[in-house]
Chains A and B, each alone.
Chain A
Amino acid sequence: MSSESRSPWFLPIIYVGGLIFGFGLAISGMAKPEVVLDFLQFEDFGLLFVMGGAAIVTGIVFAIATRSDRTAPLTGSSYVRRVKEFDRNVVVGGSIFGVGWGLSGICPGAAYASVGIGNLPILWAIGGMFLGAYAQGYWRSRQADSDAAVAPSD
């Protein structure tokens, strides 16, 4: 999908999708760390309906879209499922994410939405997420020295 083939509606529809996504996170309360922590401490199981409800919608949409041979109208891309290869990192990364989520009550999408509800202390968490993403990217770039030959874009 090159940027040349994109429809002028590409960025507006991404924005609208994000808007609905963020509105949903706000109304569900998931943008509030307290609500997530209440769930993890078994005091409020409502979050099951957030993840469950969202996964049922995407599940139905993915199932129907991937059965058709149509392509996405704004990009011409074909519809595929989100299936990532399994390796040890999926479990190690999931565990590290779990410790972070359990400590802070914050995950990436919910943290962005939390900014929108005026929660400025959440910037601590977003700053932490960027530091963490940078640390793992730096470390893994060092691990794969051969990749260092790839020239940066700017």
Chain B
Amino acid sequence: MSELVPLLALADFFPRGILPYLIGGLLVGLGAATIYLSTGIIAGASTFLESTLSYVSDVPRFNRFKYVQSRGWRLVFTAGIVSGAAVYVLVSGEGMWTTDVQWWRLLFGGFLVGVGTRLGKGCTSGHGVCGVGSLSNTSFVNVATFLAVAIGTAQLVQALGVSP
């Protein structure tokens, strides 16, 4: 029985197990690596926001050459992400799924994510996966910052009794 104790402690930290997270992470890396090895492009998910805005806005910032030039393939990349998740729903049999997190948290949180990733030059995939994979000090600082602030924010929201 005593050898079960560390396993139980581990299960406390990982109530859904480790495998889906690890497989998912390896596939996220594999997706980025597929694009990188064939095209040399380091694909982050958040530049899609700015480059797509160039279709509908004449604000100069969105119409810089690098955004206008990349907006086509960024749409295709995002369509790939959406379909990849849809394929997962089809093959896993888990079915469609919707969140219970309240709409105002999604909207205001999303707004801040939009401001923050663009100001901070990247998001969880750009800095967190590709930047960290590049051993970039800028990305390490960005990831440490957003992780610490996000943990503080989520704990505060929870302490205020906002749920879900």
B78 touches A112 (CB 8 A): yes
**Chain A residue contacts of B157, Cβ below 8 A:** 102-103
- Shortest beta-carbon distance from A50 to chain B in Å: 4
B113 touches A129 (CB 8 A): yes
Q: How far is the CA of A120 from the CA of B103 in the complex (A)?
A: 11
A100 touches B109 (CB 8 A): yes
Interface footprint category on B? 35 or more
B133 touches A29 (CB 8 A): no
Decide if B4 is an interface residue (CB 8 Å cutoff): no
B25 touches A53 (CB 8 A): yes
Q: How far is the CA of A72 from the CA of B68 in the complex (A)?
A: 22
Query: Which chain A residue lies CB-closest to B58?
Result: A152
B113 touches A110 (CB 8 A): no
**Chain A residue contacts of B158, Cβ below 8 A:** 41
Name the interface residues of A76-120: CB closer than 8 Å to any CB of B: 77-86, 89-120
A105 touches B101 (CB 8 A): yes
**Chain B residue contacts of A154, Cβ below 8 A:** 55
Query: Which chain A residue lies CB-closest to B133?
Result: A58
| A50-B108 contact given A72-B40, A116-B89, CB 8 Å threshold | no
- Selected from B15, B50, B123, the residue in CB contact (under 8 A) with A137 is B50
- Shortest beta-carbon distance from A102 to chain B in Å: 3
Name the interface residues of A112-139: CB closer than 8 Å to any CB of B: 112-122, 124-138
Decide if A43 is an interface residue (CB 8 Å cutoff): yes
A55 touches B128 (CB 8 A): yes
| A50-B40 contact given A24-B26, A40-B150, A150-B64, CB 8 Å threshold | no
Binding site for B on A (CB under 8 A): 1, 3, 9-11, 13-35, 37, 40-59, 61-62, 65, 71-75, 77-86, 89-122, 124-138, 140-141, 144, 147-148, 150, 152-154
29 examples of A-B residue contacts, CB within 8 angstroms: A14-B76, A18-B78, A18-B83, A22-B84, A25-B85, A34-B164, A37-B101, A46-B20, A51-B128, A53-B23, A53-B26, A57-B133, A58-B33, A58-B130, A61-B29, A65-B37, A84-B121, A89-B120, A97-B113, A99-B153, A102-B157, A103-B109, A106-B106, A109-B45, A112-B82, A118-B86, A124-B107, A133-B50, A140-B61
Binding site for A on B (CB under 8 A): 13-18, 20-46, 48-50, 52-55, 57-64, 68-69, 72-73, 76-89, 92, 96-101, 103, 105-139, 141-143, 145-158, 164
